[in-house]
Amino acid sequence: MKLLRYGTPGSEKPGMLDADGKIRSLENVIDDLAGDALSDASLQKIASLDPTSLPEVDASTRIGPCVAGVGKFMCIGLNYSDHAAESGMEVPKEPVLFMKATSAISGPNDDVVIPRGSEKSDWEVELGVVIGKHAKYVSESEALDYVAGYCVVNDLSERAFQIERSGQWVKGKSCDTFAPLGPWLVTRDEVADPQDLGLWLELNGEKVQNGSTKTMVFGVAHLISYLSQFMSLHPGDVISTGTPPGVGLGMDPPRYLVPGETMRLGIDGLGVQQQITVADV
């Protein structure tokens, strides 16, 4: 299934796509795409519905972030060896973990706001993993059973804030609008192998990232298991799994975002995002 949230920011309602790509409302079925609604039992209940029996939503309605109530937004750094090389960093022996503030979450087609003082805002297309049930000390062999679904993430970064201002990466990763999610939460049954997905990003119509999850250093199952050794993962938690090469930081010379540019990005089977960059006011 392709699940989504639609409506004005802060007042989104749950929905799903039907076979014709029309949005159908789940407002009277679940409260939101959050918490227990992401469990296997809930998703099976939704899957049993006839989408044509659900109210149709106007196609022009804004699409919001594909999951609500995110408690933790975990990110994995340098998880593609070729991206580590373009960043001038070594491939890590264990996953590099950092968090992104949940206040950075935005809709897949919302404007991206370049923060005040930014000179090095950058793009990163990534596979997002949404947890569906409580996970603690999970084995790698069982890890994918804890996934509700997958989505597209643009893990935007302000490189000067991230790298040059000392301390941790989080302040360069957490600016408002720096975590577009969606358009859809695609349930795990529709993703045969999360390690065989193409992902790409275009800047102003030029393809700058074009990779595959095959080249991850640490795969999705390993990441879920690894994280669960250090903290409980809860329904709605998001794991952003790293980016392939082609980010602005790695270009010669480096290339960073300015207001008025268009990013378009997607992952096989998970949909496409598009954002326009605007200046903070």
Q: Which of 238, 206, 208 has the alpha carbon at shortest distance from 122?
A: 208
Between CA 70 and CA 68 the distance in angstroms is 6
pLDDT in tens, 110-163: 999 999 999 999 999 999 999 999 999 999 999 999 999 999 999 999 999 988
Q: Which of 196, 176, 183, 111 has the alpha carbon at shortest distance from 152?
A: 183
* pLDDT at 85 (0 to 100): 75
Q: Which of 268, 266, 267, 265 has the alpha carbon at shortest distance from 276?
A: 265
pLDDT in tens, 140-149: 999 999 999 9
* pLDDT at 146 (0 to 100): 98
Between CA 157 and CA 75 the distance in angstroms is 12
Q: Which of 112, 19, 118, 23 has the alpha carbon at shortest distance from 62?
A: 23
Q: What's the full length of the chain, in residues?
A: 281
Q: Which domains does the chain have, with CATH numbers?
A: 67-279 (3.90.850.10)
| Number of neighbouring beta carbons within 10 Å of residue 17 | 18
DSSP for residue 35: G
Q: Which residues contact 221 (CB under 8 A, 6 or more apart)?
A: 140, 141, 143, 144
Under 8 Å between Cβ of 266 and 274: no
* pLDDT at 81 (0 to 100): 81
Between CA 119 and CA 190 the distance in angstroms is 40
Pairing outcome for strands 96-99 and 2-6 = unpaired
CA Rg, the chain, in Å?
18
Tell me the residue type at 154.
N
Between CA 8 and CA 261 the distance in angstroms is 23
Low-confidence ranges of the chain (pLDDT < 50): none
Between CA 200 and CA 209 the distance in angstroms is 5
Tell me the residue type at 108.
P
Between CA 265 and CA 207 the distance in angstroms is 9
* pLDDT at 169 (0 to 100): 84
* pLDDT at 227 (0 to 100): 98
HSE of 120 in the Cβ direction (CA atoms, 13 Å)? 16
DSSP for residue 276: E
Between CA 237 and CA 68 the distance in angstroms is 9
